[in-house]
Chains A and B, each alone.
Chain A
Amino acid sequence: MDDRATSLVAQRDALASGTCSSTELIDGAVDRHDQTNASLNAVLGLRAEAARAEAKESDVRRAAGELRSPIDGIPILLKDNMVQRDEPTTCSSRILEGYVSPYDSCVVEKLQAAGAIIMGRTNMDEFAMGSSTENSVHGAAHNPWDLERACGGSSGGSAASVAADITQAALGSDTGGSIRQPASFCGVTGIKPTYGRVSRWGLVAYASSLDQIGCFTHTAQDAAIVLQTIAGHDERDSTSIPDAVPDYSAALTGDIRGLKVGLPKECFETEGTDPEVQERVRAGIAELEAAGAEAVEVNLPHTKYGVAAYYLIATAEASSNLARFDGARYGHRASGVKDLKEMYERSRSEGFGAEVKRRIMLGTYVLSAGYFDAYYKKAQQVRTLLRQDFESAFAKCDVIATPTSPEVAFKLGEKTEDPISMYLSDVFTVSANLAGIPGVSVPCGTSANMPVGLQLLGRVLDEETLLRTADVFQQRTDHHTDRPGGIA
C-alpha cells in the first residue's frame, strides 16, 4: 500500500486529527483521477474546480467548529443517473446529451447537507441497463484489476472508481444487481439497501419497482457511514419507507455469535457457476462460522425463475419510464424531421443504444394486449413466490449467503453479442430486487487474480445485520484491503 487513504473512515480520521484538509483530499482525488481515469474511463465529469471551492468552505467550517457531519469535506462520486442541480446527467445515453438538471436528487441534498463533496459522475450502462458498463455512449469502463475486463454494471464506473481509490465512496443504483455485481467484479464492498430505504427522488428511473440507490466503499464500516447519510423517508417518493433510520455504525458490534447463515442449495448447485468462485464463497462462509455463526441449509425454490421474471418486469417498467425521452422537451432531438411521428422515431432511434432499444421493445411487447397475462402478470406472480421463498428462508436464518456472481469479471466484448448469457449472470442478484430485500457484496478473495464477491442478503430493513456480518468478515480477513496492481 502507498500513502493513499484507504478508507472513508481513514479520511474522516485524518480530517478530524488535522493531518489533512478537505482541500488536500480533493487534490488527491483529482490526482488519482488524472493518473487512472484515462485507462479506466470510470469518471465522466470531474467537478475539480467546484469541488475545490466546496472543500475550502468545508475547511473553513471545520476551522470554525461548524461541521455538518463527520464526513464533511470527504469526496464522493455519483452514478450518472442521479441528478444534481446545474450539472449534466446523461445516464450514459446520447438521448440526454446536453441535459442539465434544474434540481437536486434527494441523495445529493443529503450528501451536501452532510458536507460531503460531490466529485462528479461515473460511467454506467445506458439507463442502468447492462451488467458490464459497456453499453455507454461514453465508451466502456475498464476493470482496474485487468483493463481488458469489464468492471461489471450497470454501476461499473462507481465500482471501478472506488477500487482505484479515486474516492473512497461512490453511489450506485441497483435494479437487478447493478451495485453488487460490479462490487464483486472490482473487489469492493457494495450495498443495495431495502427497496424504499433511500429515496428515488432524482434518480432517473429504469425500473421503478426495483431501483434502489446504495453505495460502494472498501469496507462495511464505510458503507454504514454513507448509508446513514443517504437513507431515510422522503415524501417526494411515495415508495419511500417511513421507518426511522437506525444507527448503522452502532450496529457494527463485531459479534455474530449465534447468527444463522442460510445457504440456499439452489445457489450452490447452479450449473455454470465457476468452481473457484464457489470455493472462495464457501471459504468466506467458513470464516463466518469460525466467528460463531451457524450455517443452515435453506430453500429458495423459485430462484430459477428469477431472471425471467426480472427481465419481464424491469423491461415493462422501462418501456414506460423511458417514454419521456421523446425529443420534445430536452435532450437529443433529430434534426430535419417532417412531422411528429418522425421526430419521435428518429430522436429515439438516434438517441438510444442497442440494449436500451432491445429492452424497450421487450417491455412494450410484455405489456401488450393479449400478452400481458402470459408475461407481465405471470412475472408478478413469480415475484410474489420469490418473496414468500425469502420469508420462509428468513424464518430459519438471519442472513443468506451466496456468490454475488457466478463468475469473475469477464473480458470486455465477451458477452456483448450474447445478451442472454449476460442476463443469466444476474441469477444471484435479481431475486433480492424482486423481493425488495437488502443485499451486500464483500470481497472474499480472488480467482485467477480477479476478485470474487460473497453476497449476503438480509431481511427487509435489516441492513444492520448485513453490515455487522460484513464487518465481522472484514475484521477477520483482508480481502477488502487488496488493491489492483494493474494501474498506477
Chain B
Amino acid sequence: MSDEPKVALYLGYESVIGLEVHTHLRTDSKLFSPAPVRYGDEPNCNTHPIDLALPGVLPVLNRAVIDLAIRVGLATNSTINERSVFSRKNYFYPDLPKGYQISQYEEPTVSDGWLEIEVPVATGGKKGKKGKQGKQAEPTKKRVGITRAHLEEDAGKSIHDSALAGSGTLVDLNRSGVALLEIVSEPDLRSAAEASAYLRKLRAILRYIGVSDADMEKGQFRCDANISLRRPGDELGTRTEIKNLNSFAFVEAAINAEIERQAEVLDDGGEVVQATMAFDSNTNRTSVMRLKENADDYRYFDDPDLIPLQITEADVEAVRAVLPELPDAKRDRFEGDFGLSRMDATTLTANLVLAQLFEATLEVYNQPKSIANWIQRDVLQFIRDKDIEIEATALTPANLASLVELVDTGRLTVKNGREVFLALAESGGDPAQIMAERSLEAVQDTGLIEGVAKEVLANNPDSVTAYREGDGKVLNFLMGQVMKATKGKASPADVKRILESELQAS
C-alpha cells in the first residue's frame, strides 16, 4: 500500500492492530450435526448425540456452509481454496464435550483477501472531541488485508451464575457446534477508529451477502483484537490479544485502553509481555488474563473423522452468479444513478435493509432526494429512538412513498407529515387516510390563509409597527400565530408569502 496516509501517532507510538472476528453462519443446523440452530430456547434442547459427544458419534459436514464461505471469500476479494482441511484443537473444558474443537487450521477455505474501509482523517495530536459536523475532511480509503477465514464450531456456554448453579457450573450446549467463520485480518489497522470502521464494514458485508445476522448482542459477531505499539519505522512490537469484545463501543474503548497501557509500559522503559488480555468496561481498563508462556498446547492434527473439503471452480462460479451487490458498489450506484451526495449514499447503504427500503420506495415514487431525506432523517431517528430494527417498524415502500408524495405535493406540511409518519411507522396504514382521519390536510385555500393573516395582523398592531420599523424577526412570530390558527395545516411558504404581501399592502 504505497499511498498509505501519514502514520497517526498516539503519544509518539504507532499502533498496529489486527482483528479476529468470529461470526455465526446462518444455517438451519449445526456445522457437524443435524441439531437446529436457534437462539433463546431452553438450555440443552438443541442437541444431538453428536453435540453431546456421546461414545460412537461422528461429525458430518453441513454442506450449507460451503456456499456461505464462498460468498465471504468473494465479498472480501479472497482466494477460495480448492482444498481445505478440518483439524482438531485439543483442550479440556466442560462446554467443549469432545475435548477438542473442530476447526480449520493449516488449510482454511478462504485466504488472502482484502476489504476497503473509509478512514476518518486523523486530526493529529491529542485526541479531542470532534468539532461540529460538516467541517470534516473527506475520509481516505484504506485497504485492510484479510489473512484467512476459516470454518469452526462454536463451544457451548458455561453458566457460573450462583443463583442458577449454586457453587457449581451449568453447561448449555445449544450453541455447541454452531457454525462459525473466523475472519482474521492482517495487522493493517492503525487506530481504534480504523478498527471500528473495519468491523462495521465487515458486518455490513456479512449481512448484505446473507451469511450471518451478525447480531452482536446474541454473540453472533465477536471480536478479538491483537495490538502492539512501535516507534514509526521500527520492527513490529510484542503484541497482546484482547478477547471477546462484543460491541463496537467496547472494541474502540478496549483498543484505546490497551494502547494507553502499552504506551505507559514502554514509556517507563518496560517491555510489553505477550499475553491474552481481558477488558473491563466498567473501569475502562485492560488486564492480563493469561500469559503466552502459560498458553495451552492445542496439539492440532487433521481430524481423521472428516475428509478434506473440496471446492470446485464451478462451485465458486455458481455462487458468484447469485452474489448480491456489495455495500461499496451499491453506494457508488446510489451516488451515480440517483444524484445523491457521497454521504447520503454511504448512510443509505450502510445497512442493507435501509438500502432496500430506499430502492423499493423509489419504485413507487421516483424522487430519490426526497425519499433519501425522509429515510435518513425520520426513519433512522425512529429506529434509534425505539432501539429497534427497520424490519420491526410498520413501514412499507408503498406507505412511505405515498407519505413523501403527499408532503412533496403540498397536501401535507412537513410538520404534519411527521405526525403521519410516526403513525405509519408505529402501526402502518394509508397516509392519506391517516391524514383525513386526523384532518391534517394542508390548507390549500389561500383566501382562507389571507383571512387568518389579516385577523392576526389586526390583533397584533405592535408587531406590525415593529416590522415596519425594520424588525424582520417579528415575521416569525406572526407566522407562528397564523400557523397556530390554521392548526399547522397551512404551508409555511404560503403563510410567509401572504403575510409579507399583507404587511406591504396595509
Using CB atoms and an 8 Å cutoff, list the residues of chain A in contact with chain B: 81-83, 89, 91, 96, 99, 101-103, 105, 200-205, 207-209, 235-239, 316-317, 319-320, 322-324, 326, 328-330, 340, 344, 364, 367-369, 372, 376
Is B313 on the interface with A (CB-CB < 8 A)?
Answer: no
Is B318 on the interface with A (CB-CB < 8 A)?
Answer: no
Is B454 on the interface with A (CB-CB < 8 A)?
Answer: no
What 4 A-B pairs are tightest by C-beta distance, nearest first?
Answer: A323-B99, A209-B304, A367-B299, A208-B304
Q: Which chain A residue has the least Cβ–Cβ distance from B90? A: A320
Is B171 on the interface with A (CB-CB < 8 A)?
Answer: yes
When chains A and B are docked, how far (Å) is the Cα of A96 from the Cα of B56? Answer: 12
Report whether A328 and B55 are in contact in the complex, using a CB–CB cutoff of 8 Å.
no
Is B97 on the interface with A (CB-CB < 8 A)?
Answer: yes
> Given A237-B58, A367-B90, are A320 and B305 also a contact pair (CB < 8 Å)?
no
Residues in chain A near residue B171, CB distance under 8 A: 328
Q: Which chain A residue has the least Cβ–Cβ distance from B55? A: A204
Name which of B12-20, B46-54, B277-285, B355-363 contacts chain A. Answer: B46-54
Report whether A364 and B299 are in contact in the complex, using a CB–CB cutoff of 8 Å.
yes
Q: Among A105, A316, A340, which residue has its beta carbon within 8 angstroms of that of B301? A: A316
Residues in chain A near residue B61, CB distance under 8 A: 238
Q: In the assembled complex, how far is the CB of residue B100 from the closest CB belonging to chain A, in whole angstroms?
A: 5
Report whether B55 and A102 are in contact in the complex, using a CB–CB cutoff of 8 Å.
no
Most chain A CB within 10 A, of B54, B90, B94, B169, is at B54
Residues in chain A near residue B301, CB distance under 8 A: 316-317, 320, 367, 372, 376
Report whether B55 and A83 are in contact in the complex, using a CB–CB cutoff of 8 Å.
yes
> Given A83-B55, A102-B49, A204-B55, are A324 and B60 also a contact pair (CB < 8 Å)?
no
Report whether B49 and A103 are in contact in the complex, using a CB–CB cutoff of 8 Å.
yes
Report whether B97 and A328 are in contact in the complex, using a CB–CB cutoff of 8 Å.
yes
Residues in chain A near residue B52, CB distance under 8 A: 329
A-B pairs under 8 A by CB, number: 97
Report whether B307 and A238 are in contact in the complex, using a CB–CB cutoff of 8 Å.
yes
Q: In the assembled complex, how far is the CB of residue A364 from the closest CB belonging to chain B, in whole angstroms?
A: 7
When chains A and B are docked, how far (Å) is the Cα of A116 from the Cα of B52? Answer: 30
When chains A and B are docked, how far (Å) is the Cα of A237 from the Cα of B306? Answer: 8
Q: Among B56, B94, B100, which residue has its beta carbon within 8 angstroms of that of A201? A: B56
Residues in chain A near residue B94, CB distance under 8 A: 326, 328, 340
Report whether B60 and A204 are in contact in the complex, using a CB–CB cutoff of 8 Å.
no
Q: Among B56, B92, B99, which residue has its beta carbon within 8 angstroms of that of A202? A: B56
Q: Among A200, A207, A237, A324, which residue has its beta carbon within 8 angstroms of that of B98? A: A324
Q: Among A101, A322, A329, A344, which residue has its beta carbon within 8 angstroms of that of B56? A: A101
8 more A-B residue pairs beyond the given contacts A239-B305, A239-B306, with a C-beta to C-beta distance below 8 A: A96-B55, A320-B88, A320-B90, A323-B92, A323-B100, A340-B169, A367-B90, A367-B299
When chains A and B are docked, how far (Å) is the Cα of A238 from the Cα of B33? Answer: 12
Residues in chain A near residue B53, CB distance under 8 A: 324, 329
Residues in chain A near residue B98, CB distance under 8 A: 323-324
Q: In the assembled complex, how far is the CB of residue B32 from the closest CB belonging to chain A, in whole angstroms?
A: 9
Q: In the assembled complex, how far is the CB of residue B437 from the closest CB belonging to chain A, in whole angstroms?
A: 60
Is B217 on the interface with A (CB-CB < 8 A)?
Answer: no
Residues in chain A near residue B169, CB distance under 8 A: 340
Q: Among A82, A105, A201, A324, which residue has its beta carbon within 8 angstroms of that of B99? A: A324
Is B234 on the interface with A (CB-CB < 8 A)?
Answer: no
When chains A and B are docked, how far (Å) is the Cα of A322 from the Cα of B56? Answer: 11
Residues in chain B near residue A316, CB distance under 8 A: 301
Report whether A238 and B306 are in contact in the complex, using a CB–CB cutoff of 8 Å.
yes
Bitwise, B63-107 to A at CB < 8 A (1) or not (0) is 000000000000000000000000010101010011110000000
When chains A and B are docked, how far (Å) is the Cα of A236 from the Cα of B61? Answer: 10
Residues in chain A near residue B57, CB distance under 8 A: 201-202
When chains A and B are docked, how far (Å) is the Cα of A83 from the Cα of B56? Answer: 7
Report whether B99 and A320 are in contact in the complex, using a CB–CB cutoff of 8 Å.
yes
Report whether A326 and B56 are in contact in the complex, using a CB–CB cutoff of 8 Å.
no
Report whether A238 and B55 are in contact in the complex, using a CB–CB cutoff of 8 Å.
no
CB neighbors of A among B338-364 (8 A): none
Residues in chain B near residue A372, CB distance under 8 A: 299, 301
Is B445 on the interface with A (CB-CB < 8 A)?
Answer: no
Is B235 on the interface with A (CB-CB < 8 A)?
Answer: no
> Count the B residues whose beta carbon is within 8 Å of the partner chain — how many?
30
Is B368 on the interface with A (CB-CB < 8 A)?
Answer: no
Q: Which chain B residue has the least Cβ–Cβ distance from A210? A: B304
Q: In the assembled complex, how far is the CB of residue B435 from the closest CB belonging to chain A, in whole angstroms?
A: 60
Report whether B299 and A208 are in contact in the complex, using a CB–CB cutoff of 8 Å.
no
Is B59 on the interface with A (CB-CB < 8 A)?
Answer: yes
Q: Which chain B residue has the least Cβ–Cβ distance from A313? A: B304
Residues in chain B near residue A368, CB distance under 8 A: 297, 299
> Given A324-B99, A368-B297, are A238 and B90 also a contact pair (CB < 8 Å)?
no
When chains A and B are docked, how far (Å) is the Cα of A208 from the Cα of B56? Answer: 10
Residues in chain A near residue B60, CB distance under 8 A: 235-238
When chains A and B are docked, how far (Å) is the Cα of A425 from the Cα of B60? Answer: 35
Bitwise, B462-489 to A at CB < 8 A (1) or not (0) is 0000000000000000000000000000
Report whether A320 and B55 are in contact in the complex, using a CB–CB cutoff of 8 Å.
no
Q: In the assembled complex, how far is the CB of residue B427 from the closest CB belonging to chain A, in whole angstroms?
A: 49
Residues in chain A near residue B49, CB distance under 8 A: 102-103
Q: In the assembled complex, how far is the CB of residue B304 from the closest CB belonging to chain A, in whole angstroms?
A: 4
When chains A and B are docked, how far (Å) is the Cα of A240 from the Cα of B57? Answer: 14
Q: Which chain B residue has the least Cβ–Cβ distance from A323? A: B99
Report whether B58 and A236 are in contact in the complex, using a CB–CB cutoff of 8 Å.
yes
Report whether B92 and A344 are in contact in the complex, using a CB–CB cutoff of 8 Å.
yes
Residues in chain A near residue B304, CB distance under 8 A: 207-209, 239, 317
When chains A and B are docked, how far (Å) is the Cα of A400 from the Cα of B52? Answer: 42
Residues in chain B near residue A369, CB distance under 8 A: 297, 299
When chains A and B are docked, how far (Å) is the Cα of A82 from the Cα of B55? Answer: 9
Q: In the assembled complex, how far is the CB of residue A367 from the closest CB belonging to chain B, in whole angstroms?
A: 4
Report whether B92 and A201 are in contact in the complex, using a CB–CB cutoff of 8 Å.
no
When chains A and B are docked, how far (Å) is the Cα of A441 from the Cα of B263? Answer: 71
Subset of 21 A-B contacts with CB under 8 Å: A83-B55, A99-B55, A101-B55, A101-B56, A103-B49, A200-B58, A201-B57, A201-B58, A202-B56, A203-B56, A205-B56, A207-B304, A208-B305, A237-B60, A238-B58, A238-B305, A319-B299, A320-B299, A323-B99, A329-B52, A372-B301
When chains A and B are docked, how far (Å) is the Cα of A329 from the Cα of B52? Answer: 8
Report whether A89 and B55 are in contact in the complex, using a CB–CB cutoff of 8 Å.
yes
Residues in chain A near residue B59, CB distance under 8 A: 238
When chains A and B are docked, how far (Å) is the Cα of A209 from the Cα of B53? Answer: 18
Q: In the assembled complex, how far is the CB of residue A411 from the closest CB belonging to chain B, in whole angstroms?
A: 32
Residues in chain B near residue A81, CB distance under 8 A: 56
Bitwise, B285-305 to A at CB < 8 A (1) or not (0) is 000000000000101110111
Q: Which chain B residue has the least Cβ–Cβ distance from A103? A: B49
Q: Which chain B residue has the least Cβ–Cβ distance from A344? A: B92
Residues in chain B near residue A320, CB distance under 8 A: 88, 90, 99-100, 299, 301
When chains A and B are docked, how far (Å) is the Cα of A209 from the Cα of B304? Answer: 5
Q: In the assembled complex, how far is the CB of residue A55 from the closest CB belonging to chain B, in whole angstroms?
A: 26
Report whether A330 and B54 are in contact in the complex, using a CB–CB cutoff of 8 Å.
yes
Residues in chain A near residue B55, CB distance under 8 A: 83, 89, 91, 96, 99, 101, 204, 324
Q: Which chain A residue has the least Cβ–Cβ distance from B307? A: A238
Q: In the assembled complex, how far is the CB of residue B252 from the closest CB belonging to chain A, in whole angstroms?
A: 34
When chains A and B are docked, how far (Å) is the Cα of A395 from the Cα of B55? Answer: 40
Q: In the assembled complex, how far is the CB of residue B153 from the closest CB belonging to chain A, in whole angstroms?
A: 14
Q: In the assembled complex, how far is the CB of residue A84 from the closest CB belonging to chain B, in whole angstroms?
A: 10
Residues in chain A near residue B306, CB distance under 8 A: 238-239
Report whether B97 and A324 are in contact in the complex, using a CB–CB cutoff of 8 Å.
yes
When chains A and B are docked, how far (Å) is the Cα of A209 from the Cα of B303? Answer: 9
Residues in chain B near residue A205, CB distance under 8 A: 56, 305
Q: In the assembled complex, how far is the CB of residue A359 from the closest CB belonging to chain B, in whole angstroms?
A: 15
Q: In the assembled complex, how far is the CB of residue A37 from the closest CB belonging to chain B, in whole angstroms?
A: 25
Q: In the assembled complex, how far is the CB of residue B175 from the closest CB belonging to chain A, in whole angstroms?
A: 16
Report whether B97 and A105 are in contact in the complex, using a CB–CB cutoff of 8 Å.
no
When chains A and B are docked, how far (Å) is the Cα of A425 from the Cα of B65? Answer: 45
Residues in chain A near residue B300, CB distance under 8 A: 367
Q: Which chain B residue has the least Cβ–Cβ distance from A200? A: B58
Q: In the assembled complex, how far is the CB of residue A322 from the closest CB belonging to chain B, in whole angstroms?
A: 8
Q: Which chain A residue has the least Cβ–Cβ distance from B48? A: A103
Q: In the assembled complex, how far is the CB of residue B442 from the closest CB belonging to chain A, in whole angstroms?
A: 67
Q: Which chain A residue has the least Cβ–Cβ distance from B95? A: A328
Residues in chain A near residue B307, CB distance under 8 A: 238-239
